[in-house]
Amino acid sequence: MEAAVSRPAPLFELQHTGATPVCWSYGMGAESTAGVVRTLLDPGFRPPELLEDLSNLIVMTAQTGDEWSSTADLVERHVLPLLRQYRVRMVEVARAGPAQRDGIVVLQDTRTPQRMHADPVEHGFFALSDEHRGNGVLPQLGGSRKCSSKAKGGPLDVWRAREVGSRPYVHAVGFSATEGNRIVGDAAVTLGGQRRAIYPIHAAGLSREDCRDYLHELFGVWWPKSCCRQCPFSGGKTGWPEQLARFQALPAEAAPHLADEYVTVALNKRSGLFGPGGTLREKLELGQATAVLALAEEAIAAADWALYRVRRCYSAPAAAWRAVEVVHRGDRLSATLLLAELADRLGRRPGLRHEGGHTRLWLAERHGDRYPQVEEFYVAAPAQVHDKAREGFDTRWRTCVGEDLLDLEDETAAALIDLTGTSAPTSAESSLFAATNTGPQ
């Protein structure tokens, strides 16, 4: 997709100058803010490739769509005036859609930035939470921070490739003195010698606290961590007090993420935002963030609801293929009543259980440590998750389940038709959509 905001004429003609572009990845947090600001104010801090007039410097930000508005406010108040003063080129980008082929939106490309564009609705881009909401998942604590590569690294790479082409460039990244382990992975990305990564904050031996002190001395504010409101890495001992204060200060922008967690946990009881560290709701209750809890509850109650059928086929304790299907839509009362009536119709065999704020009707549960094994249940929750199953799911499912469960599924489907007057999918029918939907589980 082309830029939603038209791009100004080239701010420097890369093809006509011998200067090496120096791209500062500006995530808006304390470390990269200190790095960018010190690059402007302290010539001794600059890499040798940077021209004296800073004309080959590009400060680059990717918006995830879920950043706290207060972070963008600070950048507007303290950093943008400096970028304007030094006539530094600022580029702000975001994703245009969930797939790579959807491209990016260039939110601004200017040497006189006046504001940031963090709000995806106002500025027409695709937020990380939009994608996760439709899939019934949250950013994950484990693994390789896929959320960050998708929502930040991806759009920045697309823009840089388009602008810089195959020319060598210097890439400044704000890892702090304690993030040597992240540097090891990042430095390995050289793009065949085109990319020279530098880590000015780390090289200067500056910790996050040093960066905050530096910015406090300059601007008189304690610079916060830049992060998504639903970041799973924000729940640690050191980060949570700051994050909690933001949940308390900005309940309206935070509440949708709490509602998202409610739905995600409905579909997977083990999927609280902080993994083994518990759920966002629990932490906010402990922190007495009453306004955001109340707003989220209101939104959940007022939403359209669905009765979902959820199946997982496990090949190992933490490795599963998932299928989610909506079998009924209505309001909260009708969806929860239908679940109870369905349990009544099926008699005593399946279990209707109240677990962690949700009621699930279990058709099959995991047990023991032999794999593959399956789980299947029905649960009512706000209707925001799309029908989705990995390609080949039903073939795999049928190799993993016994006749008893298949019979119970048929019985459940018949009961649903009787109760709702509409057709509910059986395992065989669900393959209709399984062939066309793939994605995160």
Q: Which of 11, 94, 104, 228 binds ligand SF4 (CB under 6 A)?
A: 228
Q: At what angle do helices 427-434 and 393-400 cross, to 10 degrees?
A: 150
Q: Which of 7, 145, 345, 386 binds ligand SF4 (CB under 6 A)?
A: 145
28 touches ligand SF4 by CB under 6 A: no
64 touches ligand SF4 by CB under 6 A: yes
* Shortest distance (Å) from residue 141 CB to ligand SF4: 9
Q: Which of 23, 40, 137, 147 binds ligand SF4 (CB under 6 A)?
A: 147
94 touches ligand SF4 by CB under 6 A: no
335 touches ligand SF4 by CB under 6 A: no
- Tally of residues, the chain: 441
Distance from CA of residue 95 to its chain's centroid?
12
Q: Which of 75, 96, 164, 227 binds ligand SF4 (CB under 6 A)?
A: 227
Nearer to ligand SF4, 212 or 257 (CB): 257
Q: Which of 88, 172, 231, 379 binds ligand SF4 (CB under 6 A)?
A: 231
Plot region of 439 (φ>0 → left; ψ -120 to 50 → alpha; else → beta): left
The two tokens of residue 388 are 């989705």
Plot region of 81 (φ>0 → left; ψ -120 to 50 → alpha; else → beta): alpha
Note whether 118 and 94 are within 8 A (CB): no
Q: Which of 61, 63, 148, 420 binds ligand SF4 (CB under 6 A)?
A: 148
Residue 213 to residue 409: CA distance in whole angstroms: 61
Three-state SS for 322? strand
Angle of CA points 170, 176, 180, to nearest 5°: 85
* Shortest distance (Å) from residue 148 CB to ligand SF4: 4
Residue 375 to residue 394: CA distance in whole angstroms: 14
- Choose the stretch contacting ligand SF4; rule: CB under 6 A; options: 139-147, 203-211, 349-357, 405-413: 139-147
* Shortest distance (Å) from residue 146 CB to ligand SF4: 8
Q: How many CB atoms lie within 10 A of CB 213?
A: 16
Q: How many CB atoms lie within 10 A of CB 194?
A: 15
- Choose the stretch contacting ligand SF4; rule: CB under 6 A; options: 105-113, 144-152, 312-320, 362-370: 144-152
Task: Report how many residues bind ligand SF4 under the rule CB under 6 A.
Answer: 11
292 touches ligand SF4 by CB under 6 A: no
Note whether 230 and 66 are within 8 A (CB): yes
Q: Which of 62, 75, 151, 379 binds ligand SF4 (CB under 6 A)?
A: 151
The two tokens of residue 194 are 């085109």
Give contact residues for ligand SF4 (rule: CB under 6 A): 64, 139, 145, 147-148, 151-152, 227-228, 231, 233
